[in-house]
Structure 1
């Protein structure tokens, strides 16, 4: 049982961090489809940073800076160049996937997987079977709670929601929606860097091309499935992680009796199911109207 819980936390923690980035962007009125690109950027920067500097804090700082810069780029394209936020987000994802592959090729002269000599600090023997997990796993529930407090119990959260849902009204009371969206995307960049770092250096200590394998899109689906609420989105992300852990466990139990590709596809099938259920419960018209208002203000 402990092994299953450890597997769920390992796969769910990076997903939840990136989901929180999607939640705060959604509250600001941005449908953040660049999560995948920022996540893989954070993963690559952390592993390469550890190899080149020998320091985890410095590697994390590099990852955060790169992801925040990517978020600022997305904000500039959407806000100043008036690009469609969905297309701009997909472009950022392509930039992240292609840019990390190019960076690894340029630095190491090969596109093979890059192994770091060490990873993120572990919880240690005091936590028993969970001591193999990184410190970011322990911090994850506090980050989710802090995001709820920030978005639901602070003036900043109220202004952010107003900027995303009613930008005309927000501007009328002296709130700059563009500045609020910049702040939201920058915070999201930090969270994506942490999520990528946890994925690459939390337990694997390795970076490989396309290692995020669609987790950024799963995080975006979790945002929709959870109604852009920090707790709901975190539970949706955890649900996807549980399905993934069940798929891995099923491979060990059933072996060749169940198609291997079907078991690997379980998290993605769960993602599609979650988006479908969310659409049935809430409908897409309201979300589309909010996005249209964002583009026209």
Structure 2
């Protein structure tokens, strides 16, 4: 049971962080399909940053800076050039996947996996008490519930969060009371960039200390699906992301127990099948994507 819970936390933590980034963007009026690209930029930047600088703090700052810059690029393309947000987001994903591969090739003249000498500090380093199997989890796992609460608090209980949501739902009304929807979207994407950097860093430097090409393996799209499943709510989207993590952990467990009797390909596809089912169920229950708040056209 403990091993299963640890597995859920390992697979679910990076997904939750990236899902929260998607929630912020969606509430501000942008369906962010660039989550996959931002996540892999964070993964690559952390590992390469640790290798190059020997400092976790500096590597994390590099990862956050690059993800915020990429998010600002998405905002500029969507807000200033009036590009379709879906197409622009997919373009950012392609930029992240291709750009990280090119960066590894340029830095190391190879496409091989990059291994860091250390990763994210573990919970055991914070206390002298033996935490058992949980002690090997990263500090970002401990901070994850706090991040969920902070995003919920921002969106549901602060003036800034209400302005952000109004910019997504009713941009004309928001402007009429002095709110700049463009700035709100930039803020939402920038905050999301930081969260994606943390999620990508957790994926590469949490339980592992490596970066390999395409290692996100569609997790950014799973996070996007969790936003839809959770109807743009921070708590609902987090629950959806953890549901996908549970399915993933059960799939890994099933591979260990029934690997010889059940096709490994089928077991590995379970999280993605759950994602498809979740999106289908969400749209059926709510009557389509148009019923989810924060999907107003960006006509301002």
Query: Smaller-chain TM-score range?
Result: over 0.9
Cα distance in 2 between the residues matched to 1:105 and 1:269: 33
Task: Report SS of the residue matched to 2:130.
Answer: helix
CA shift for structure 1 position 294: 2.8
Cα distance in 2 between the residues matched to 1:73 and 1:187: 14
Query: Which one of 267, 274, 299 corresponds to residue 296 of structure 1?
Result: 299
What CA deviation, in whole Å up to 9, does each residue of 1:12-70 have, x standing for no partner?
Answer: 00000000000000100100000000000000000000000000000000000000000
Answer yes or no: is 1:152 the counterpart of 2:169.
Answer: no
Q: How many residues of Structure 1 are paired with residues of Structure 2 in the alignment?
A: 296
Cα distance in 1 between the residues matched to 2:279 and 2:289: 14
What CA deviation, in whole Å up to 9, does each residue of 1:224-271 have, x standing for no partner?
Answer: 101111111001000000000000000111122101100000000000
Alignment of 1:1-297 (within 5 A): 1-124=1-124, 126-284=130-288, 286-287=290-291, 291=295, 293-297=296-300
Cα distance in 2 between the residues matched to 1:228 and 1:286: 12
CA shift for structure 1 position 126: 3.4
Cα distance in 1 between the residues matched to 2:10 and 2:293: 37
Call closer, same or farther: CA 1:11–1:289 in 2, change over 3 Å: closer
Higher mean C-alpha deviation, range 270-279 or range 127-136: 127-136
CA shift for structure 1 position 286: 2.2
Cα distance in 2 between the residues matched to 1:242 and 1:214: 16
Cα distance in 1 between the residues matched to 2:60 and 2:293: 38
- List gaps (5 residues or longer) in structure 2: none
Call closer, same or farther: CA 1:146–1:165 in 2, change over 3 Å: same
TM-score (norm 1): 0.98
Cα distance in 2 between the residues matched to 1:103 and 1:5: 35
- List gaps (5 residues or longer) in structure 1: none
What CA deviation, in whole Å up to 9, does each residue of 1:127-173 have, x standing for no partner?
Answer: 22200000000000010001100000000011001000000000000
**CA-based RMSD:** 1.2
Is 2:231–2:292's contact at 8 Å kept on the other side of the alignment?
no
Is 2:41–2:197's contact at 8 Å kept on the other side of the alignment?
yes
Cα distance in 1 between the residues matched to 2:148 and 2:130: 24
Call closer, same or farther: CA 1:289–1:145 in 2, change over 3 Å: closer
What CA deviation, in whole Å up to 9, does each residue of 1:162-191 have, x standing for no partner?
Answer: 000000000000000000000000000000
Choose between structure 1 and 2: higher helix proportion: 1
Call closer, same or farther: CA 1:143–1:201 in 2, change over 3 Å: same
